[in-house]
Structures are given as structure tokens and as C-alpha cells.
Amino acid sequence: MEARPLFSPVPEPDHGADTSLIGCLTIKHFPAWAIAMARHHDGTQPLIVQEEHHIVALNRAAAMQGLERGMTAARARSLCPEAACYLRDPVAEFSAWEAVLERLNRITPFMESTFGGQGAAASLTRSDQPQLWLAAAPEEVRMIARSMGASIGFGPHRSTAWLASIRAGAGELLTVPTDEVEAFHDSFPVSWLEEAGFSIDCVDGLQMVGCETLGTARAMSERHLKLAWGDEGLRVHRLLHPDDATSVSLFHPAPCINKHFNLFTPCHDAPYLIPIVHRLVQKAHDKLKENIVGQVRLVLHLEGHPPERTARLLTHPTARLDALVRFAEKLAEDLFAHIIREKGRVGIEKVEIELAGLLTGDMIQMSLFDRRLREVKEAVSKVHRRYPRALKKSVVREGAHFHEDRYSYVVWE
């Protein structure tokens, strides 16, 4: 399979731009986006992600076929047989989000991630819509939103920026100036609060009392909102009266293995480049220890031009040297061909190889165990539906006088 760059080149940041606003980046239907990245799925073909019988995420092509989140997987497959259906993959989500963090970190060092910690591979915590807080000028990240299909919102407060990212469409950026926060609330539909993590009961309750937009709930006091919907009512009040304008802290990138080689004379031919890449991967592989690689990155420093970057998410994370060499060499060949087409014959002064998205065997095993557990629950549910009360489990009775009385069988719920 041809290795393709994850993202287009990042524009140089404008350090003189206004960065007083707080930014929030989200990716809607993130599980489907991550699977598409890891599997190199064609975006024009429908893709759905399944978890416990139901669809938890889908791409735009699947939505245009009438599929919806929350629909059973069986019904989705019957309505759209050509849709590619995948089980939810926490490893792919972790690796894809690491790629997002790496790209944004080239623009700003001030970021905070709500997915898996501050870029550290400490856990595979899953999130349907992870958030990334950042301090940057809107113009610096506008092209990133478009190329990644991310939704980015900017506002004077974190909660306002978060709502703006929900209101923005995929690949769009929405900025809410300080003097337009109330007007933004007045136009924000209450029905979209469900996407912000509010329960259906809270959303329906607000609509039943005549609050079709978030701003109309401003007439209700904090006490009224709390009595009506508890903690969610307090969250609504904080959205309407935001005071969370805290600055974004410095981002600490996830550990990765980086090896580079400076050429004495610029290299102009691919046959001379491939052995260098091969040797760099070998040296990086020696530092892996018990880690498993989820992403391979390549940077070529050109003579008289900005560096060119490319990366590949691995469909199946691996620590095999031959696989890593094959991916890196393919990336080098494709990137070199791209440079020749775009810039002509240009010398390469420095080569960098980076093994990123590092995982441990325990993290992979935990993900596989979670998947097997869901598969077992699905199989048991199917048997229950077809043969009610047929599956039973044994229960040990302590202190029974006779051997045959020690065990009894009850229905396995």
C-alpha cells in the first residue's frame, strides 16, 4: 500500500498575530476519523465504527447514506451494505491523536490535551470527541482545520471556545470576539448541547421551558438551574457566565526516538538516500526496548528550502525492524519524488527519522482484552435474544454436606 503523508505542510506561524483568544480543537466522530487515518480509508466510501452493537461514529459518506450514530450495526449494514464497518480501536485513536498533537506543536508550544494526558502514552483512555486547548492566532491554524477536517473555535473563555468548536463544521474555524459572547449564546441552539456532553433529559427540559437557544436560559438563576437539572444545570449556568479565561500551559510532547544524519555534501539522488534512512531506522530500533511503534516520521532538510515532512500511521503498531525499514524507505521514496516534482533537483543536507506514538505491550494487551470482552458480551447477548434464559453459570455453595449439592446453576444475566 502506498504510504501517504498524514497532513499537508504546516504554514510558518505569524508571531506578530494576536493570541489573546483561547482556541479549542475538536474532531467530530473522532473514532471514525482515527480509523480512517490508520487504515488509509478512502474518504469517498462510507465508514462506520461499531461498539457494543451500535454505531458510535461514522464519516461524511456514511451520513449521506442515511446512517446515524446510535443506530444498531445490523441495521446500518442492511441500509448500506457497502459501508466498511470496524470495531472501535483505542490504539488507532491514540496514535491518530498523537499525530494531531505533533502537528499543532510545530505551531505553538502552548497546548493542553484532554485525551490520554499531556501527550504521554500513559493510558488508552477513549474519547468520542477529544479536546485540545491551544494558544495561537486563528489564522495560524485555519489551514490545519481545513486539511484535517477538525473543528476549531476561538473565544475569550475556554467554555466559549469549546462551544464555538461544536458550532463550527468539520474543517471550519469559528471565532467569537469578546464583545459578541452574549450574541453567540443567543444564537447557539440548545439541541447542540447534547454534543457537548449534556444529557437528553437536560436538553429536552430546557426546550420544554421555552429555551430554544442557550442565551434564553440566561433569565434563569443558578438556583433554578440547579434545582431543575442538578450538576448539569450548574454547567449551563457556567456556560452562560464564563470565567474560565485561564491561560494555556506549556505542552510536554510524548516521548519519541529521533535519529538524524548530516551529509557532508548535499545528496541529489534517491539511491544514495535510501541506505541512510535504512541505517537511521536501525539505530532508532536499537533504542526501542519494550516499546511498540505506532507512527513513523521522516524529515528531509533541503538546500535553500524549508524542511519537508511526511509521516505514516501504522495500521498495526509493530516493533519489527524489517517492517519499520520498509515503511521508512517507502516514505523516503515518495517524499523525494514529491520534492523533485515540486522543486526540481534539490540537494538534501540532513535526514531525520522519528519513531513516535510509542506504546507498550501492556497497553496493547489491555486494548485487546477490552475488545475480546465486548465480543464475548455481544455473543452472549445474541444467545439470550434467541434462547432466553438458556445460558447459565455455576455457583459454588460453601459448606454443602454432599458433593452434588456444592454446585447449582443460575441464569447468566
Q: Is the pLDDT of residue 327 over 60?
A: yes
**pLDDT for the residue numbered 289:** 86
Residue in the structure block whose three cell numbers are 469549546: 162
- For residues 297 and 274, what is the distance between their CA atoms, to the nearest angstrom? 15
Name the phi and psi angles at 302, rounded to 5. Answer: -100, 155
Q: Is the pLDDT of residue 377 over 50?
A: yes
Share of the chain above pLDDT 90, in %: 50
Contact 189, 207 (CB under 8 A): no
Cell numbers linked to 281: 531506522
- For residues 177 and 159, what is the distance between their CA atoms, to the nearest angstrom? 13
CA 121 from centroid of its chain's CA atoms: 14
pLDDT digits (tens, 9 = 90+) for 184-236: 999 999 999 988 888 889 999 999 999 999 999 998 999 999 999 999 999 99
Contact 298, 353 (CB under 8 A): yes
Picking from 238, 231, 230, the residue whose alpha carbon sits closest to that of residue 214 is: 238
| Alpha helices, DSSP H, located in 43-199 | 60-64, 73-79, 90-105, 138-148, 158-167, 181-187
Contact 3, 325 (CB under 8 A): no
**pLDDT for the residue numbered 121:** 37
Q: Predicted confidence band at 401 (pLDDT cuts at 50, 70, 90)? A: low
Q: Is the pLDDT of residue 57 over 50?
A: yes
**pLDDT for the residue numbered 10:** 43
Q: Which is more confident, 210 or 128?
A: 210
Q: Which domains does the chain have, with CATH numbers?
A: 22-240 (3.40.1170.60), 257-357 (3.30.1490.100), 362-411 (no CATH)
Q: Is 146 left (phi over 0), alpha (psi -120 to 50) or beta?
A: alpha
**pLDDT for the residue numbered 357:** 86
Name the phi and psi angles at 360, rounded to 5. Answer: -105, 165
pLDDT digits (tens, 9 = 90+) for 351-376: 999 999 888 766 555 555 555 666 66
Q: Predicted confidence band at 179 (pLDDT cuts at 50, 70, 90)? A: very high
pLDDT digits (tens, 9 = 90+) for 255-294: 899 999 999 888 888 888 999 999 999 999 999 888 889 8
Position 275, amino acid: P
- For residues 129 and 166, what is the distance between their CA atoms, to the nearest angstrom? 10
Residue in the structure block whose three cell numbers are 532538510: 301
Contact 237, 225 (CB under 8 A): yes
Q: Is the pLDDT of residue 332 over 70?
A: yes
Question: Measured over all CA atoms, what is the biggest interatomic distance in the chain, rounded to whole angstroms?
Answer: 89
User: How many other C-beta atoms are found inside a 10 Å radius of the C-beta of residue 87?
Assistant: 15
* The Cα angle at residue 131 between residues 130 and 137, in degrees rounded to 5: 145
Q: Predicted confidence band at 413 (pLDDT cuts at 50, 70, 90)? A: low
Residue 48 host element (H or E): strand 47-51
Q: Is the pLDDT of residue 72 over 80?
A: yes
